[in-house]
Amino acid sequence: MFAENVYRQRRQQLKQQFDAGVLLFLGNDDSPMNYSDNTYRFRQDSTFLYYFGLQDPGLAAVIEVDDESETLFGYDFTVDDVVWMGPQPSLQERAERVGVVKCAAQSQLAPVIAKALAAGRDVHILPPYRGDHRIKAASLLHISVEAVEHYASEPFIKAVVAQRSIKSTDEIVEIETALDITHQMHTFAMQHARPGMVEREISGQMEGIAATRGAGVSFPIIFSVHGETLHNHYHGNIMRRGDIAVNDSGAESFLHYAGDITRTIPIGGQFTSRQRDIYSIVLSAQMQAIAAIRPGIPYRDVHLHAARVMAEGLKQLGLMRGDMDDAVAQGAHALFFPHGLGHMMGLDVHDMENLGENHVGYDESIQRSAQFGLKSLRLARALQPGYVLTVEPGLYFIPALIAKWEAAGKSRDFINYEKLRAFLDFGGIRIEDDVVVTANGQRVLGRPIAKTIDEVEALASGR
């Protein structure tokens, strides 16, 4: 974990945003896989990690704004526990590591919250995203499980989002540690994916690299020759010469900061000329989008810029036609690019998404669009120094979507459906890097991972 004063300062900054009330933080509990003692890999809640750093299940914390007191609630292990788990630090020792003075048994949490409620004080909670948390919050607040999500505190959400959005130098170091492992995962995949192999032979080894060098993967690996399915978690296809595999994967550092990188690999070592054409368009859009990133620019503008670059490229190939500014304004490009250009990244791969995408990616000055494609943009608001975000354009040929649009006569003026027929078996290409916004521009994080056609082919062909 970071030094104790990092957590103290973070909590101090948070407290200053409130005049009164109680801030309640629920740490995550173990989650059963198939019976209660056989659990999924434990992952602490990211906001809990951010303010309290402790990576164990069974913890909660309260900050009383009025008297500035902080209490860690948990459990002291008994000798019976130690028989199964080995020696464990006491709750007090764990509290001290993150600069918290007071601690109390988990059973004391309910009376503390009940007392605050009885005194008419506001108890602020964040939106729970796990069933057990909904039940716990309902019980603590004496409300129904259904009412819990409406109880989430907007001031609390906004204060946490404002703070976690700006990454410190220490956090950037952690993200680059995650990206160093991610570099190895991607390089391994490029060097080892071969015709005749099953996708899981590569995805499984990448997962091993993430688990060996860090805290595991930061999200379930997407590694598929069916890259046209945006989040394809099936790894059972045999890879054939001439296929392209989309590899969207990343590791977590030991402090649980994420990496999130996508590369597209030619199986057999060389892109076909058609694949080169599409790859070059996506790469150009990605590089131009990165170059456009600077403080003050709304990320929606960067998204639309990337969309225009790709639409122009598709026009040159004869797949689109007409005026590309009009095409992008009307959303015609979204047939090929149906997702957003990127999202914030930090302790979560989609950072703070549990606090509500609109709180993270939008503000009073910029509302979410309802248009297909643009509505999936997670981050639209103006960028600030210290934001870490992904830049991940892609082009996809999704047979079901093409058939639906063609049957409906959608965007006929802009899309050459005749010519598109030859691309129905193409798959998809995505290229993703992680970027920090600096005082004057941006910096791509991590050691460069092979990205140009020459670089990728060199690794994929063993040159």
Q: How far apart are CA 437 and CA 454, in angstroms?
A: 28
Q: Which of 260, 312, 351, 433 binds Mn ion (CB under 5 A)?
A: 260
Nearest-approach distance from CB 114 to ligand GLY, in angstroms: 41
CB within 8 Å of 191: residues ≥ 6 apart: 459, 460, 462
Q: Quick check: helix, strand or coil at residue 294?
A: coil
Q: Does 433 bind ligand GLY (CB under 6 A)?
A: no
Q: How many positions of this chain bind Mn ion (CB under 5 A)?
A: 4
Partner interacting with residue 10 (select from ligand GLY, Mn ion, none; CB below 5-8 Å by kind)? none
How does DSSP classify residue 237?
P
Residue among 217 and 319 whose Cβ is closer to ligand GLY: 217
Contact of 332 with 320, CB cutoff 8 Å: yes
Residue type, 211: A
Instruction: Write the Ramachandran bin of 362: left for phi over 0, alpha for psi from -120 to 50, otherwise beta.
Output: beta
Q: Which two tokens stand for residue 30?
A: 């173990």
Contacts with ligand GLY, 342-371, as mask; x by CB under 6 A? -x-----x----------------------
In the bound complex, what is the minimum distance in angstroms from residue 399's beta carbon to Mn ion? Answer: 23
How many Å apart are CA 22 and CA 70, to the nearest integer? 10
Binding segment for Mn ion among 136-144, 247-255, 332-340, 407-415 (CB under 5 A)?
Answer: 247-255
Nearer to ligand GLY, 324 or 379 (CB): 379
Residue pointed to by tokens 């404002």? 162
E strands along 55-173, which residues?
A: 60-64, 69-74, 102-105, 123-124
Kindly state the smallest distance separating residue 255's Cβ from ligand GLY, in Å.
19
Helix axes 299-316, 273-292, angle to 10 degrees: 150
The answer to whether 219 contacts ligand GLY (rule: CB under 6 A) is yes
Taking the CA of residue 82 as centre, how many other CA atoms within 13 Å lie in the half-sphere pointing to its CB? 8
* Among 171, 248, 312, 351, interactor with ligand GLY by CB under 6 A: 248
Q: How far is the CB of 342 from Mn ion (least distance, A)?
A: 6
Q: Report what 219 binds from ligand GLY, Mn ion, none; CB cut-off 5-8 Å by kind.
A: ligand GLY
Cβ closest to ligand GLY, residue 219 vs residue 423: 219
Binding-site size, ligand GLY (CB under 6 A): 8
Residue 392 interacts with ligand GLY (CB under 6 A): yes or no: yes
- Which pair of structure tokens corresponds to residue 237? 């296809």
Does 434 contact Mn ion by CB under 5 A? no
Site residues for ligand GLY, 259-288, by CB under 6 A, read 260
Residue 199 contacts Mn ion per CB under 5 A: no
Can you give the length of the chain in residues? 463
| Residue (70 or 348) nearer to ligand GLY, CB | 348
Query: Please, which residue, 47 or 390, has the CB nearer to ligand GLY?
Result: 390
148: region left, alpha or beta (phi > 0 left; psi from -120 to 50 alpha):
alpha
Strands (E), 145-256: 222-224, 244-249
Q: Which residues bind Mn ion (CB under 5 A)?
A: 248, 260, 390, 432
Q: Which residues bind ligand GLY (CB under 6 A)?
A: 219, 248, 260, 343, 349, 390, 392, 432
